[in-house]
Amino acid sequence: MEERTAGRLRDGLLAVVALRALLDGLRRRGRLDVLRSPTAAVAGVIGAVSVEAVLLRHPELTEAVWKRPSVQAASLLGTVVAGRSLSRRSGAHIAAALCWGLLAYLVLLAFVLRGRPNPLSTLGLAERQ
């Protein structure tokens, strides 16, 4: 398997693990209903698209930093811990928005894994050479 594909599969797995942990937190609190909130869905998708657009502006730097296992682990832990903590303090909509954002990221990743360009890169958000 090509190194780039293996890395993308790893990224997808990390996103799925974070999504599962956040969903589990919502389930334990009896708040899965908040996933139906249009506000949470829109906030999550816009957040994911915004982060992806920023990262596409500097792909070499993004890749160099993201290759570090410590960055990957900190990202996973940070997403889950911050999402659960903020959700307890500010409401379940935070965790729901993160869930929608992770789902949006997984959709983008599915395009790339199928050999298609990242839809955001076709919008001219990537760094120009």
Residues 91-115, mean pLDDT to the nearest whole number:
94
**Domain boundaries along the sequence of the chain:** 3-114
Give residues with Cβ within 8 angstroms of 49, minimum separation 6.
104, 120
DSSP string, 91-127: -THHHHHHHHHHHHHHHHHHHHHTTPPPTTGGGT-SP
Residue 127 has pLDDT above 60, yes or no: no
Mean pLDDT for all residues in the chain: 89
pTM beyond 0.85: the answer is: yes
Select the more confidently predicted residue: 115 or 14: 14
The whole-number pLDDT of residue 2 equals 83
Q: How far apart are CA 90 and CA 31, in angstroms?
A: 13
